[in-house]
Amino acid sequence: MGTLIENEWLKLTKKKSTWIMLGLLVLLTFGITYIVRIGSQGMKANDLFVSLGEMTSFLNLIVVIVAASSVAEEFTRGTIKFLLIRPFTRTQILAAKAINTLLFACLGTVCLLLSSLVASNIFLRAESPLAATEFNGLPAIVVALVYAGTNLLMILFYIALTLFISAVIRSQSLAVGLGVGVLFGSSIINSLMLFALEKYPWLKWNPFNMMNIRDTIPALLGNPQYSMGIDAGLGYWEMAISLLVYSCLIYVITNWLFNKRDVALS
């Protein structure tokens, strides 16, 4: 299993697109921070750093692209047959791809943390990441890590959902397109669901409502006034556990489909 994970990681890191996407993440973080400087004179570095420069959405986008490509690409190129004749089960193959995508997400998160910290202190009023914030006096780096960890929970859900799409669809481009569509479409569906929560309270448990978990972080850290004013009907830990449960459930279904899939026509 370790050899399989290592091989999958080598395949991912040898792609130029992998490093191009990470490079774009860093460049856009610096660009957005500079734009914030122009529009908000006198803004402090930690005011933007704690939320990772609001660049988590782009990180989620590139992770979805990687996840969609990891499985669908094997079917598009016909290399899935070569994987299956090796001494690994389909369950192990899918697990290796999921683990590597999550490792890539962690690498992207580290890049985002560092680039956001550097960009904020270059373009805005410099502050130590250890300085206390209005989030219950917690250091800025702690608040940023909470946001980063929460975003990784959301990424875990997106990875599970995107792998499900990839296991069903043979076309790599279609899988990527649908994966990106799910990423942005979930925000739209989530907004519409919020209007129905008052009439149907049970809808608060739908998976798209869990995308509001970032809005519950200020209350978790002792400063609810920084929330976006969205009442999702659930607390932080309820959403976090729900995201894990939904991710595991979708992954189990994906694994079942991947094991049943006929590769004769691939």
pLDDT tens string, the chain, 266 residues long: the values are: 777 888 788 888 888 888 999 999 999 999 999 998 887 777 888 888 888 877 888 899 899 888 888 877 777 676 766 776 777 788 888 898 899 999 999 999 999 999 999 999 999 888 888 888 888 888 999 999 999 999 999 999 989 988 888 877 766 677 777 777 777 777 677 767 767 777 777 778 888 888 888 888 888 887 656 555 556 678 889 999 999 999 999 999 998 988 877 665 55
State how far the Cα of 157 lies from the Cα of 160, in Å rounded to an integer.
Answer: 5
Cβ-proximal residues to 48 (8 Å cutoff; 6+ apart), any chain: 33, 36, 54, 116, 120, 124
Give CA 119 to chain center in angstroms. 21
Domain of 137, in residue numbers: 2-259
Residue 123 resides in a domain: yes
Residue 124 resides in a domain: yes
- Decide: pTM greater than 0.85: yes
Residue 266 resides in a domain: no
Residue 176 resides in a domain: yes
Total of domains in the chain: 1
